[in-house]
Amino acid sequence: MATAFSPTERMRLARKTSSIDQLSKQFRQQVAALTGEQEQAFSTYQAGVKEKMAPFESALAQYQTKDFPAYEAATEAYKSRLKAYEAQLAEIRANPTVKAIGTYTERVPRWGLFGLAGYTNETRTYEYDEPRPLPSFTETAPAAPAAPARPEIAAFSDEPFQARRAVLEQGLQRELGERRSARLAAVSRRSRNMLAGA
């Protein structure tokens, strides 16, 4: 069954509803303004991050496209030279000596007369094993280029905005609570008046 309200009760209910609607509308506007401020602060933060990261990104691009490939090429060349040197050492270990021919002078009697006709100096050759010289390898491995250091960037903090939002919510809750308590107080006063008049 539908309850019929008197015109004054309808106005009072409309006032209550409109004041709550007005409060919620005001709260939504404040939250929307706060959200806009937060988005603006975040976009400013992102622009600052992009500005700080620009030199790092260009240095990283150079490191990845020029410095590190050059280092890898130098390392490969060094490894190939080292491998060739190790192959020479392995061959020297397998054959540590080489045949060499030396000469000496020998005093020989002339015409085979046991030195009665005098002596002559003859150069004679001989074979001997000579140790092979060890090759030297004085190269050092190329040093790796230093990678660019990433700049320290603090994370975006939305705590101030959350704190302001909490204050707005508390204000709305407090205002709604005050209005409810005022309504209850008015109802209890009215009921007291009705009882007093009886």
Distance between CA atoms of residues 84 and 90, nearest Å? 10
Angle at 29 between CA 26 and CA 31, to 5 degrees: 110
Please state, as a whole number, how many other Cβ atoms lie within 10 Å of the Cβ of residue 72.
Answer: 12
Q: Tell me: the pLDDT tens digits for 100-114?
A: 999 989 887 777 677
Q: How far is CA 109 from CA 13, 18, 106, 113, 124, in A?
A: 151, 145, 10, 6, 15
> What is the pLDDT, as a whole number, of residue 143?
92
pLDDT values of the chain reduced to their tens digit, one per residue, 198 residues: 445 556 666 556 555 555 777 777 888 888 888 888 989 999 999 999 999 999 999 999 999 999 999 999 999 999 999 999 999 999 999 988 889 999 989 887 777 677 677 788 888 899 988 998 888 888 899 999 998 888 888 888 888 888 888 888 888 888 877 777 776 766 665 555 555 554
